[in-house]
Amino acid sequence: AQTVTQSQPEMSVQEAETVTLSCTYDTSESDYYLFWYKQPPSRQMILVIRQEAYKQQNATENRFSVNFQKAAKSFSLKISDSQLGDAAMYFCAYRIAGSGNTPLVFGKGTRLSVIA
């Protein structure tokens, strides 16, 4: 079974600084997707960034970037120039790529606090 591990239950960062959230996963599949989702207090799940396993290049979305290490099964999220609005719960998620639709498997989450 696929598992996703987030080893940091809580993290904090000073406004305008950089923070990295860790995520490792376990799978025997070769083709899959990895995601970081943000869940603010409203509890609406918001996609932050996505990585296709077959792509070696790390995904980047503005201030958000990932360090994808496929051999190590590691997928960390780096948030640069942290803003107060970045404070939220962050979930790392994995999804098998297949012919049909597959569910997401989530890590336990990391609660990020941003200090003004």
Partner 1 sequence: GAVVSQHPSWVICKSGTSVKIECRSLDFQATTMFWYRQFPKQSLMLMATSNEGSKATYEQGVEKDKFLINHASLTLSTLTVTSAHPEDSSFYICSAGPLTEAFFGQGTRLTVV
Question: CB-hemisphere CA count at 13 Å for 108?
Answer: 6
Q: Which is nearer to partner 1, 82 or 110 (CB)?
A: 110
Amino acid at 78: K
Q: Is position 95 an interface residue for partner 1 (rule: CB under 8 A)?
A: yes
Say how far residue 15 (Cα) sits from the centre of its chain. Answer: 20
Kindly state the DSSP code that residue 8 receives in the 8-state scheme. -
For partner 1 (CB under 8 A), the number of binding residues is 23
Distance CA 89, CA 67 (A): 19
Q: Which is nearer to partner 1, 68 or 107 (CB)?
A: 107
Q: Kindly give the pairing relationship between strand 88-96 and strand 60-61.
A: unpaired
Subset of residues 48 to 87 that bind partner 1, contact rule: CB under 8 A: 50, 52
Residue of 43, 57, 62, 116 interacting with partner 1 (CB under 8 A): 43
Q: Which is nearer to partner 1, 18 or 108 (CB)?
A: 108
**Which positions lie near partner 1, rule CB under 8 A?**
33, 35, 42-45, 47, 50, 52, 91, 95, 97-98, 100-109
